[in-house]
Amino acid sequence: KAGVTQTPRYLIKTRGQQVTLSCSPISGHRSVSWYQQTPGQGLQFLFEYFSETQRNKGNFPGRFSGRQFSNSRSEMNVSTLELGDSALYLCASSPSYEQFFGPGTRLTVL
Amino acid sequence: DQQVKQNSPSLSVQEGRISILNCDYTNSMFDYFLWYKKYPAEGPTFLISISSIKDKNEDGRFTVFLNKSAKHLSLHIVPSQPGDSAVYFCAASGNYGGSQGNLIFGKGTKLSVKP
């Protein structure tokens, strides 16, 4: 089975712009979760989608949003980018408890 | 308030010896625990997990032990190999709000296995 794929792998944006990241889960996995990894805060949960519905949300501002499509593919959007949004954004898909991560998208905000 | 803590930021072990990575948690609602291995600029790789109804789970060189009364789990790697050098994350999950999709991660322990 192919693993979780994320596009793009690297992205450079400037403050105030918006960005959309994409995630394709492992075939058959209906749950997709997003995490942000920064050196200071570690891995932090953003949100989880299951069957196109947001099932759980972490403690992030409303500038962070996401959605899931009928084929389980997911996108996350960050609007009005800030310098502190620079991070590795990880997507994980899951059949139940174990989550399987993609390689991440490295976002740099200048 | 950190719900999952890995108090050792780094650990150095000789090749062939045992590596023991520790993790403490505070939330008694957690019912599933996982260990991930991560290389720089890559996503975490799932290693092994344990349900709260068990106290031990083995998979090859990796064994996870869970002590619910102490809210403590540990990952044993025997024998350690240089390729095991990476950052190891402990994560916990609980079926609250009907979702297991919210993993709470520790800050990680960087393991270095010296030849």
- pLDDT digits 0-9 by tens, B63-99: 999 999 999 999 999 999 999 999 999 999 876 544 5
Written as six digits, the tokens of A85 are: 């949004």
Query: In angstroms, what separates the C-alpha of B9 from chain A's closest C-alpha?
Result: 12
A60 touches B at CB < 8 Å? no
Instruction: Report how far apart, in Å, the C-alpha atoms of B53 and of each of A61, B4, B92, B97 are.
Output: 36, 19, 14, 20
CB neighbours of B5 closer than 8 A, spacing ≥ 6?
Answer: B23, B24, B25, B26, B106, B107
Residue B12 pLDDT exceeds 70:
yes
Q: Report CB contact under 8 Å: A48, B101.
A: yes
- What pLDDT is stored for residue A60 in this prediction? 94
A33 touches B at CB < 8 Å? yes
User: Which residues of A are less than 8 Å from B100 in CB distance?
Assistant: 31, 94, 96-97
User: Which residues of B are less than 8 Å from A43 in CB distance?
Assistant: 44, 89, 91, 103, 105
Residue B1 pLDDT exceeds 80:
no
Closest CB to B43 among A96, A97, A101? A101
Q: Which of A34-43, A78-87, B25-34, B96-105 has the lowest mean pLDDT?
A: B96-105
Residue B100 pLDDT exceeds 70:
no
CB neighbours of A11 closer than 8 A, spacing ≥ 6?
Answer: A19, A21, A105, A106, A107, A108
What share of chain A has pLDDT > 70, as a percent? 99
Using DSSP, state whether A2 is helix, strand or coil. Answer: coil
Looking only at the bridges linking them, the beta strands covering A87-94 and A31-38 are antiparallel
pLDDT digits (tens, 9 = 90+) for B15-64: 999 999 999 999 888 889 999 999 987 899 999 999 999 999 999 999 99
In which band, very low, low, confident or very high, does the pLDDT at A97 lie, cut at 50, 70 and 90? confident
* Contact predicate A106/A37, CB 8 Å: no
Q: Report CB contact under 8 Å: B43, A97.
A: no
* Contact predicate B89/B108, CB 8 Å: yes
